[in-house]
Amino acid sequence: MQIKPIITYSGSFPLFRSLEAQILNAIPLDTCEWRRTFQRPTKHVRLEAQTQQFSVEPLERYKKGDWSILEHPILHIFVTECNDIDTYKATIREEIDSWLKLLSSYGISDWMILLVETLDMRKTKNLLPRTTVLDKIRLDFGSKNDDRCISVLNPAKFEQKSTESFRCLVQRIRFLMLTSYNRNIAKYEELIRSKREKRNHDDWDFRQYFFMQEDLALIFEKLELPTEALIQYDELDAMFSQFITHTGFNEKQQWLAYFKRPLTAFHGICLSRVDKFEMRQKIRNEGVSLLEFRNYLFERQAYLLLTCNEIPEIAKRLLGFLFSTLREVEFIKLDCQEGALSCWEFVCALEVLQLCEQAMEPNEVTCFQHCAPIWNLAKDKLYELGKLCGLLPGCTPSSEQLHIVVQLSSGIGDAPPQQQQQFLQAMPQLRDRSPNRKPKLSAAQQLKEALGSNQTFQKLYLELAELAISTYKHVTRLRSARLVGLDLGKFYCALNEPHKAVGFFTDLLRELKAENWHMLSSQTLLELANCYRKMGDSLAYTKTCSSISCCAELEILVRTFYFDEFLKSLKSLDTTLSAQPSIENANYCVLEDHFRILDIEVLNTKPIIQDDHLLVQLRLESLYPREIVVDCMKLCYELHLSNDLETGLQEVALGKDCASRLKVTLQLFHKQDNTLNCASVVCDTPKTKQPVRRTSSTKRKLSPSVQADFTNVVQTTNIALQPGINLVELKGKATRVGRWQFKQLCITMSSLEFLSEQLPLNSQPPSFEICTKPASASLEFKTLIAGIVQPIYLNVSGGSFIFPPDAQITLRCSKNLRIRQALKSDETALSNSDAGFENVLQLPLLQFKSFEERRIPLEVLTDMPGRKLSKHHEHHITLSCPWSRTDLQIPIDFQPAMEATCRLHTCGTQKFLQVIMKGLDARLLLQHAKVKCDVAGVRLIDLNPESQAPIEIYKSLTVTYLYEIQVEPLKAEHELPIVKVHFVVKYATPAQPQIWRNYGCAFDLVDYSTLFKLQAQLEPNELCRLRTVCNLNIKITKINENPYVDLMYEVLNDQNLWAVCGRSADMGVVSMKDVDCHSISLDVMPLSTGFLPMPSIRLSKYTAGGKNKADAHSRVHPFPPGQVYNSTKSMQIHVIASVSGDQ
């Protein structure tokens, strides 16, 4: 079919014919700028044209609105060669006028008047005509559009000169044609619209409408506007679909009957037709089936897309086209043979794929993205056909099925004659990938071949499936690729080649498990189990059976069946497998598929001591449908790799649950002198370790990837696990010190090992610490009291030290401290002695085991110190322990049980010794108090009552003993300045009243003889009145010879009670030289009434100053209390109130 714009000619026909060929050839030689209406972009268009003699008939149709833009003349040319104005006026003007009137009567303004000048140069050589014919024509007709009147030199006559004018002519023709198109297309589109409005009228025919709009599309195509052409086809496509799906059952649409012919033939589309419009003619003339019509529409669309170089779009549209056509077939209820549509789909798919294959760049993903599902579709359709025709593996086609094949093959039809090479050359964007490859069979041929025999079918199916998978993979649609793999795997299974299928199934399984599609993955497991059984791979079969029996999604019957299979197979594995479990031997299974670890808890109390038994409780959920016996269950732990600083922090963090998710560390910055500059808490690298990790994000794997180090384990053997939650206790020995963390659980069943991927506990698996405990010894005692037996305990804790059988602890006491092992309670009562107290005690540790704690009772005794000391007695005990080379010194403090003090009392010249025993913390019995003095001439007289019963003293109770001391006068003082007196008393504890111990205390007596005696007397005697001056007589008497000559006296009185009269009368110095007695008289006045104490008098030694240079000042020394005896001390004077008159 030729599509060329039509140009009509009128006027001088022979003249135009002579120019015709030249003009038509010239038009396509150059492009012309096409200024389009409605601001559509301008375009350079290369035009073609054909000529017709002017006739009224198309104009009639145009006026009636029954025209096609394809057949409508686009430009009308009037040709004349009249050079003579007179002739023009006579005839030509009339002719043109009537022609133009005719045109305008049809509403056509696309005309052109062509004046061909055949100018005779000789004639007009000298004479230029005043007006030419052209001017005249322009004047007459081209008043508004003089560009429609053009003259040209007849190229036949003026070959050289005419070129320029001819070029102008052609250019003008092109321009006018395009102007005409602008107008006509707008008009035609209006016509189409009005036609479309009538689509629900009874006599409306879609086919008519179709051709009408298609004509427009063809014109657009001609005018190099394929996209606009495509729009027309798309509109038609949509309109057709709408008719069928929405108004398909409407009786009005009589024209639908045309498309309702049975599908005897089901040719696929062909994108390489030689005669593109063959089908158009057929539609117009004979009518076509729906499928054929659809094919034609798609082919046209595809062709236009190809022109736009949008091959991916073809692929994109294909599936929609196929599916919607299928639906349409269904809607109109077309009869067709079973499998016919599959054949059609297959051929269409393959046709498009072949086109894409030629056109695609490997890096251009979009096309592949659309192709992948098409490959898959082709594969599926082929499978359907194979199923229908008995071509699947393991089937042989019955005669009936062979009949179907024959019928289908005839329906597929032959591919139209291949002119592919020409077609390809016409399309520069297409290229043949490998020119040497033998030309590929057409889609129809391939299908026919595949339906021919089982082998060819299988070959094509496998090819298509592989192509689908690889294309899907190429566009990284892995899931889809795996799904195709599933089909392919099943096919291989049917082919009895399970080893080829296994790969596809495991790939799919991995993908599904990784994303937790349990239901699908369990289905895949079933397929796998089937494969492995066929292959006889008992190990893999066992593992798969085990996995299947743990799939909660499957029915319990299936699960128990496979559980039994698993147990059966597991038994046989023992005999068939000799290799040890290892990653290479693939004896490992993922534990998480079969068990779920819920919790791990260390039952030991913290901290765990080295060599202790570790006890771990595992909460484990078994997913098996029945009870299963596990040979061995091991949980390994590894050293927790983190420095001390971090663990310290982590321990803090573990306490607060929320904080444990973040890995927080301490950061310290030091100055140059190593002092702390700045401390901060950082939470680093949150990207590498996401703090929040959801459970669903854990990818599940097919086989465990790592095996942890199982040297440190807690384990148990031979235990039965019930379905559901089990509590399992695992035991182990804590051999090495450190902080440990659980790493992996391993469950062994026969030769299978189930390894956990990770321990799925909140943030990190629980950790525990194993440490050693040093042996230690310590003394335990309360307040200790010196002088009596005191209990004390030696605590020995064994720790992790291993004791030799003859181990002993040596206790060495400091001086005066003795120790012994405590006697048993019955012995205590019996023993009357302090026997057994030693300074050094060797204590055997008999059969002492590690971690034993022993408390050994001991008794210590220290001497009561004789000296009067209130301070504690400090002692120490040194321990020599078998586990340590260095001695351990433990200080012990004792408090005295009682204390003794002594005082010297004077009565005139008599001297008395008072010993005061003061009870302290202990309760004691005292008896047989004695004083001894070994000095000759000193006699001590016991003044105490003789008593038989011991005296008991206790805290804050004092006991006083009194003795008179008589010293021979001669020896007094001068010869014996110090008299040593020894006081001894026996004491016992009430608990052991039979054991009497001695308590001795030595006292030194000095200044024990009286030197002076003081006497004071108040006159008038005995009775004093207030504020009446009395006389105080002081008498100092020397009793014993002494070297003190000058004495100083002082009256020390209360200022409120007594007033001494006279200046400095209250003190004075007296000399006792050569006199034995001295009397002083003073005036005193009582200031208060009542019994007043006599003013006390102090006597001191006086050394006068100024006698030598060293002593410039006088000095006063007090006497020790024993040397001056004041006989009137503490005498009281009764003062009565003075006479009333005085007051």
Angle between helices 556-576 and 538-549 (to 10 degrees): 150
Cα separation values, 389 from 259, 408, 447, 454, Å: 29, 10, 12, 10
- If one asks whether residue 480 binds another protein (CB under 8 A), the answer comes out as yes
List all residues 6 or more positions away from 278 whose beta carbon is below 8 Å from its beta carbon: none
Q: Which of 349, 337, 158 is nearest to 264 (CA)?
A: 337
- Closest approach of Cβ 309 to another protein, in Å? 22
The region of 76-84, 135-143, 322-330, 923-931 touching another protein under the rule CB under 8 A is: 322-330
According to the binding rule CB under 8 A, does residue 327 interact with another protein? yes
Residue closer to another protein by CB (options 520, 985) is 520
Question: Least distance (Å) from another protein to the CB of residue 526?
Answer: 11
In the complex, minimum distance from the CB of residue 11 to another protein, in angstroms, rounded to a whole number: 59
- 734 near another protein, rule: CB under 8 A: no
If one asks whether residue 544 binds another protein (CB under 8 A), the answer comes out as no
Identity (one letter) of the amino acid at 762? N
Structure tokens that stand for 818 in this block: 């003795």
Identify the residue among 479, 568, 955, 1129 touching another protein (CB under 8 A).
479
**Least Å from the CB of residue 310 to another protein:** 18
> What is the footprint of another protein within residues 507-526 (CB under 8 A)?
512, 515-517, 519-520, 523
Residues sharing a CB contact under 8 Å with residue 31, sequence separation 6 or more, in sequence order: 44, 45, 46
- Nearest CA to 381 out of 411, 408, 351, 346 is that of 346
Helices (H), 248-339: 256-259, 278-285, 290-307, 311-332
Which segment (400-408, 594-602, 691-699, 983-991) binds another protein by CB under 8 A?
A: 691-699
Sorted by sequence, the CB contacts under 8 Å of residue 1059 that are 6+ apart come out as: 1084, 1085, 1087
Given the complex with another protein, which of 475 and 1085 has the nearer CB atom? 475
Other CB atoms within 10 Å distance of the CB of residue 206: 19
Helices and strands, counts by H and E, the chain: 25, 48
Which residues ranging from 357 to 396 are in contact with another protein (CB under 8 A)?
369, 373
696 in contact with another protein (CB under 8 A): yes
Q: Are 457 and 451 in contact (CB under 8 A)?
A: yes
State the amino acid at position 534 in one-letter form. Answer: K
330 touching another protein, by CB under 8 A: yes
Does the protein bind another protein through residue 718 (CB under 8 A)? no
* Residue number with CB closer to another protein (515 or 646): 515
Region binding another protein by CB under 8 A among candidate stretches 56-64, 316-324, 390-398, 1100-1108: 316-324
Cβ 441 to another protein shortest distance, Å: 26
Which pair of tokens denotes residue 294? Answer: 């659809």
Rounded CA-CA distance 929/908 in Å is 27
DSSP for residue 1090: E
By beta-carbon proximity to another protein, the closer residue of 326 and 577 is 326
Please give the full DSSP string across 47-100, using - where no structure is assigned: ---EEEE--SHHHHHHHHT---TTTSEEEEEEEE----HHHIIIIIHHHHHHHH
Of the pair 222, 379, the CB lying nearest another protein is at: 379
- Complex with another protein: residue 475 or 888, whichever CB lies closer: 475
Q: Any contact of residue 905 with another protein (CB under 8 A)?
A: no
Q: Which of 91, 476, 828, 1088 binds another protein (CB under 8 A)?
A: 476
Residue choice 333, 694, 1073, 1113 for contact with another protein (CB under 8 A): 694
Written in H, E and C, the secondary structure of 687-711 is: CCCCCCCCHHHCCCCCCCCCCCCCC
Nearer to another protein, 59 or 469 (CB): 469
| 23 and 68 Cβ atoms separated by less than 8 Å | no
| Contact status, residue 100 vs residue 141, Cβ threshold 8 Å | yes
Nearer of residues 74 and 512 to another protein, judged by Cβ: 512
Q: Does 483 bind another protein (CB under 8 A)?
A: yes
Q: Which is nearer to another protein, 246 or 876 (by Cβ)?
A: 246
Residue whose CB is less far from another protein, 701 or 1098: 701
Taking residue 857's Cβ as centre, other Cβ atoms within 10 Å add up to 13
Kindly report the CA angle at 86 between 84 and 89, in degrees rounded to 5? Answer: 110
As measured in angstroms, the least distance from the Cβ of 372 to another protein is 9
Residue 485, interface with another protein (CB under 8 A)? no
776-780: strand order across its sheet: 776-780, 790-797, 853-862, 817-821
Question: Which C-beta is closer to another protein: that of 381 or that of 559?
Answer: 381
Return the residue of 478, 1026, 1087, 1116 that touches another protein, per CB under 8 A: 478
Q: Which of 120, 163, 281, 323 binds another protein (CB under 8 A)?
A: 323
How many residues touch another protein under the rule CB under 8 A: the total is 30
Binding of another protein by 326 (CB under 8 A): yes
Confirm or reject binding of residue 245 to another protein (CB under 8 A).
yes
> What's the token pair of residue 817?
């401290």
Q: How far is the CB of 498 from another protein (least distance, A)?
A: 21
How far apart are the C-alpha atoms of 500 and 483, rounded to whole Å? 15
Give the span between the Cα atoms of 188 and 375, in whole angstroms.
Answer: 42
Binding track, positions 921-960, relative to another protein; x by CB under 8 A: ----------------------------------------
Using the rule CB under 8 A, which residue among 477, 619, 733, 982 binds another protein?
Answer: 477
Residues that bind another protein in the complex, under the rule CB under 8 A: 245-246, 319-320, 323, 326-327, 330, 369, 373, 472, 475-480, 483, 486, 512, 515-517, 519-520, 523, 694-697
